[in-house]
A and B are shown apart, each in its own frame.
Chain A
């Protein structure tokens, strides 16, 4: 890293904002190394939730009473807050969903069903989360589209040569859509999103970026990335569970999207046998939204944006580098690249002769929370010939001492199973 942040993170002060980080698990201070599954929430976010339910609870976009107006204003204010965070021109480019998974399902249904036909190619990658695979499996069943996959190389990076060739193909197998993750939830690999989007657009291919693992680490510039759709969840980025967004990169895309879920809020006029629809984004938000969660997510983005994104990145790289340094000599098989700067915050590994579940149980006994399993990426596990792995993930509130506690806990687990 050549950039050095002007404002390094004050991790001790940050930790004081997260009530759960001062709790104990199994009689030991909690060491939370599972932020890639969900992040912990700062007091500011918890307060925003309580505040909404204490002072502003009403359904949004419906009633005319005072509370309803206040709730609607806060809800739409949160939409504008997200639009600023991801640098899109208008709040109308933000669709509220339940999270990354629903966002991708929305694209597959609202855009996919309208624009793709039997034989059309959808390009995906081997490193994608089930959330960016299964919605396309379902589309393939509905529409007969063909799925192709960019392979993952042994070093945990995408086979970019393959991707470039597929994106430049102008034959009958030219992909119509390319859906890929910005950052692997298992390998930590950060993909060159802007370059891939630029190549896709040069060929008229629509891009869907899974930003679930990238957005938590600082503002994402959709204009600079040039993607058509960006999906993410609030809960991995300090926000509450149950809400997320689909960012529509260009408003013109709305002209080629059909409604996908029907109900209240997405309509203009309803007769018994037919209905017309609200303008986007409400057209894609059927039913009562998770307004409190959306509003609390705005507080999470305020919290994130008050920190220096370069400092967040440097902190996560430092923790990742320390983890790699401590874990490498222990004889573990670490999946992914050796370069901590390209995998910041995520280290998944296989412990010889100890199954990840057993590793996780033994670490839990020391108050250390890690993820064990297939990480919702079964094809990627198969690609690397493992059933499951243990994953430690680091975020802005983790410390070097916690990484050392992980290494000590792993050494003890290996010793325990060697007895």
Chain B
């Protein structure tokens, strides 16, 4: 069976070393003492799950990001890279990065700005269309966590929270 265990060059564009490094030791595992925004994401097709927790400092920066990923190499490494890119940003900056990542995964070229760090290693996923959802999962979950963060931030400013329903943040 050893003869068949040769390297598989077709996959080296998908499973770059940097991706496998992130997969084996994903960033953002540490739990947060305080959670200001959160979302539990799931890909109903495969059952992969990721929970994203965010904590924001008084000056409005995302000072804490926690990811609990139960998924494949692509979704876990994408979440780990998400941690690196989002930590220390403002929610507005995080949204710009999120938009840039989505644009790349939907077929666009890597932008010069914002800098997407290790995310360039995930570009190979574009050649495997069924796996794009895997790479997107942590990011769509981040989107929900940011919305949760913003809706919580809005809440104290509203004098009558009961009428807050349906309000777009």
Contact = CB atoms under 8 A, between A and B. Distances in A.
Interface stretch (A4-12, A241-249, A357-365): A357-365
Interface stretch (A190-198, A284-292, A407-415): A407-415
A356 B134 CA distance: 12
Contact of B131 (A26, A361, A374, A417): A361
Given A357-B72, A361-B14, A387-B71, A412 B8 contact: yes
B71 A355 contact: yes
B156 interface: no
Interface in A268-295: none
A361 B11 contact: yes
A412 B4 contact: yes
Contact of B8 (A357, A365, A381, A387): A365
Given A355-B71, A358-B73, A372 B1 contact: no
A33 interface: no
Given A361-B131, A387-B49, A411 B4 contact: yes
- Most B CB within 10 A of own CB, among A354, A358, A373: A358
Nearest to B6: A412
Contacts of A388: 46-48
A387 B48 contact: yes
A105 B10 CA distance: 44
Contact of B46 (A26, A372, A412): A372
Contact of B5 (A373, A374, A412): A412
A348 to B, nearest CB: 13
B1 A362 contact: no
Contacts of B5: 411-412, 415-416
B81 to A, nearest CB: 17
B107 interface: no
A375 to B, nearest CB: 9
A26 B11 CA distance: 12
Given A357-B131, A358-B74, A412-B4, A365 B46 contact: no
Given A358-B74, A361-B131, A374 B46 contact: yes
A38 interface: no
Given A355-B71, A387-B71, A408-B1, A26 B47 contact: no
The A contact surface, by secondary structure, is helix
Given A361-B128, A361-B131, A416 B47 contact: no
A408 B11 contact: no
B20 interface: yes
A386 to B, nearest CB: 9
Given A372-B46, A373-B45, A373-B47, A358 B15 contact: yes
A383 B30 CA distance: 27
A419 B9 CA distance: 13
B7 interface: yes
A378 interface: yes
- Most A CB within 10 A of own CB, among B1, B6, B47, B128: B47
Contacts of A419: 7, 20
A356 B10 contact: no
Nearest to A365: B10
A362 B11 contact: yes
B70 interface: yes
Contacts of B45: 373
A357 B20 contact: no
A323 B134 CA distance: 29
Contacts of A361: 11, 14, 128, 131
A118 B134 CA distance: 42
A378 B4 contact: no
- Most B CB within 10 A of own CB, among A357, A372, A388, A417: A357
B92 to A, nearest CB: 33
Contact of A409 (B4, B20, B48, B74): B4
Contact of A416 (B1, B15, B49, B131): B15
A50 to B, nearest CB: 30
Contacts of B8: 362, 365, 412, 416
In order of increasing CB-CB distance, the 6 nearest A-B pairs are A355-B72, A374-B47, A357-B72, A415-B5, A373-B46, A408-B4
Given A358-B73, A373-B47, A411-B4, 16 more contacts: A355-B71, A357-B48, A357-B131, A357-B134, A358-B74, A361-B11, A362-B8, A362-B11, A374-B46, A388-B46, A407-B1, A412-B8, A416-B7, A417-B15, A417-B20, A419-B7
9 contacts: A357-B46, A373-B45, A387-B49, A408-B1, A408-B4, A409-B4, A411-B5, A417-B20, A417-B73
